[in-house]
Structures are given as C-alpha cells and as structure tokens.
C-alpha cells in the first residue's frame, strides 16, 4: 500500500509503500524470531536471499525513516516502509506525447503497451511514473485510466486540491469521449446503432461477458470507412464498464483487431508482441473544466492501421 503520510520522499517518481506487521491471533508476537523470518513467510514468491539483501542495504525503514537491519525484531503492529521494485522490468519502446499542459492538467497521448499506472510487473515503465519524472511533478495523478493495450488520450491532474474535481467529472459521465477501432465487417449489422447490454464478470481472469437482464452498459457505434474486409469504427460510450468497447464490438460480430481476449480468450498469446497492437484508440476528450469553467476539446494524434478519414 501507499500513503500520503510517509516519512520518505518519492524516488524516481515512485511513492514509498508500506506494510503493517500483523498482530492478530494467526500471527502471535512470539511466532517470528525476527523481521526477516516473517518477510520470508509473507512473500514466498520472493527469493529469500533478495529479502535479506534488501534489509542489509537498508531498503526497509521504520516509521521514522530509519533503516531496519538484517536482524531487526518482529514488532506486531509496526509500519514498515519500502520502495517497490520490479526486477528486470521490460522497457516499453514507445514514447508518450504531451499534447497539452497548463497549471492544472496534462493531456497525454499514450502509446499502446504502456500501462497508465503501476500494476503487477509494470512500475517505472508506466505513463504516470514516466511523466512524474519527465515533468518533475511528484503529485501528478491520472483522473481516469486506459487499458495497457489501448492507446490515446489520458487526462492527468497536477494539483492535489483539484484532483477530486477532475476525477468526479469522469465518474459522473460529464466527459464526452470518442474511441476509434479497426475491426472486421458483419454484413448483417445495421449501423449506426446503440448497443446496450448487461455486462458481468467473465469466466476467465479479468474478462467480461454479456448476460440477459437490465442493461448496465451503452455504446453508440458508427462505421467511418471500409478497407476490404476491415473497417474503421467510431464508438461513443455512455457508460465506462471494464472492457466495454472490446466486449460490445465482439458481441456484434466485429471483434477488434489483435484482441487476445475477445471474442475468444487466447491465454497462450504473446501479450507483448509489439507488432500486433490492439487496434483501439481513445481519440477525443471534450468537457467543461470543473475548475476554470472553460470548454476543452482534445484529439489524439495517433493512427490505427486504417487512417482516420479527412474531416
């Protein structure tokens, strides 16, 4: 976990994390001869020698910011601070672009393959950490997120006191968003159309699926241009469910090109094959700024495998 009330500063754009040593019946005070033995139990997926080395280097600290030694005692309820690390993190060989910046916000044009925020095996190679370091803005946070596989526009807030206003704007659907995608053609599909469905958790990992029932998701879909047996589509989501656009297009028989999850899960697919990016782009953002009252409109400069039609 991370916290604002930290005795440690950000390091390379990454905030410190903390762990509170347990004091419940399952972890009685006398069970662990020292801190290292508990950590080896708590993190069985980490090489025990690596944990020992991190303690020896002083990488774990107490609530006063003082390094904990290799033979430090286990003290139930104590808060331990550390910087999360991802050994051998794979670089993402694509650059984010900043298309707008003022005193309040940054509008970034995110490439495919770059996670919005740190998660799992992605830490420094994420949009947020890259921009914190690039702009020297440790308090920068995204107001919303895009999937790692999706390219396009992300709004990030500079000032903590205005963070809630921008995040609420997205949560309350006060932002008009358009996406574009390359997918196949279903000759039986009548477009434009509005697709509504009840979306629930899927049967595999973090996927979603549709079931019968009161719809909780809605997307307007338009065909923009055709290229052989493929087409460029524009989508305007009214709701923001996880994988909504990917699922909705798949359900209409026009699954997005290079999608390893829809319509069929491909667990053996190479999810880091940079030659086959998901053909989904967060294309525009339009909103009234909740702080200044200004009308804002931003458009991505990125292209998919079918070019955007001239406007």
pLDDT tens-digit profile of 184-230?
999 999 999 999 999 999 988 889 999 999 999 999 999 999 999 99
pLDDT of residue 179: 98
Instruction: Please report the domains of the chain, with CATH numbers, ordered by start residue.
Output: 17-82 (3.10.290), 97-299 (3.30.2350.10)
pLDDT of residue 70: 86
pLDDT of residue 204: 85
pLDDT of residue 31: 74
Could you tell me which of 27, 32, 28, 7 has the C-alpha nearest to residue 17?
A: 7
Please list the ranges in the chain whose pLDDT falls under 50.
none
191: Cβ contacts below 8 Å, ≥ 6 apart: 221, 222, 223
pLDDT of residue 276: 93
C-alpha of 70 from chain center: 35
Dig out the tokens for 77 from the structure. 């309820």
d(CA 262, CA 247): 7
**Does the global pTM surpass 0.75?**
yes
Phi, psi of 191, deg, nearest 5 = -125, 150
d(CA 245, CA 230): 17
pLDDT of residue 268: 66
pLDDT of residue 206: 85
d(CA 119, CA 126): 9
Q: What is the pLDDT of residues 241-268, one digit of tens each?
A: 999 999 999 999 999 999 999 998 887 6
pLDDT of residue 218: 97
């Amino acid at each position: 976990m991370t916290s604002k009330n930290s005795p440690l500063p950000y390091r390379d754009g990454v905030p410190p994390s903390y762990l509170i040593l347990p004091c419940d019946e399952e972890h009685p005070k006398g069970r662990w001869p020292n801190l290292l033995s508990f950590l080896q139990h708590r993190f069985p997926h980490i090489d025990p020698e690596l944990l020992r080395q991190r303690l020896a280097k002083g990488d774990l600290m107490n609530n006063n910011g003082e390094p904990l030694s290799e033979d430090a005692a286990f003290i139930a309820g104590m808060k331990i601070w550390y910087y999360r690390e991802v050994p051998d993190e794979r670089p993402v060989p694509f650059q984010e672009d900043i298309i707008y910046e003022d005193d309040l916000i940054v509008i970034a044009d995110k490439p495919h393959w770059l996670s919005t925020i740190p998660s799992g095996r992605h830490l420094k190679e994420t949009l947020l950490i890259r921009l914190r370091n690039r702009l020297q803005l440790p308090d920068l946070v995204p107001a919303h997120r895009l999937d790692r596989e999706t390219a396009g526009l992300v709004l990030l807030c500079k000032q903590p006191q205005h963070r809630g206003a921008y995040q609420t704007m997205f949560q309350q659907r006060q932002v008009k968003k358009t996406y574009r995608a390359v997918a196949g053609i279903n000759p039986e599909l009548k477009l434009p159309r509005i697709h509504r469905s009840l979306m629930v958790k899927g049967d595999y990992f973090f996927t979603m699926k549709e079931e019968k029932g009161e719809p909780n998701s809605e997307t307007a879909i338009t065909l923009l241009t055709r290229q052989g047996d493929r087409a460029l589509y524009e989508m305007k989501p009214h709701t923001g469910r996880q994988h909504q656009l990917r699922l909705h297009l798949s359900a209409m028989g026009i699954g997005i090109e290079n999608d390893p999850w829809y319509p069929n899960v491909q667990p053996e697919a190479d999810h880091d094959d940079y030659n086959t990016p998901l053909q989904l782009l967060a294309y525009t953002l339009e909103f009234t700024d909740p702080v200044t009252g200004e009308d804002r409109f931003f458009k991505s400069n990125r292209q998919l495998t079918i070019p955007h039609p001239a406007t």
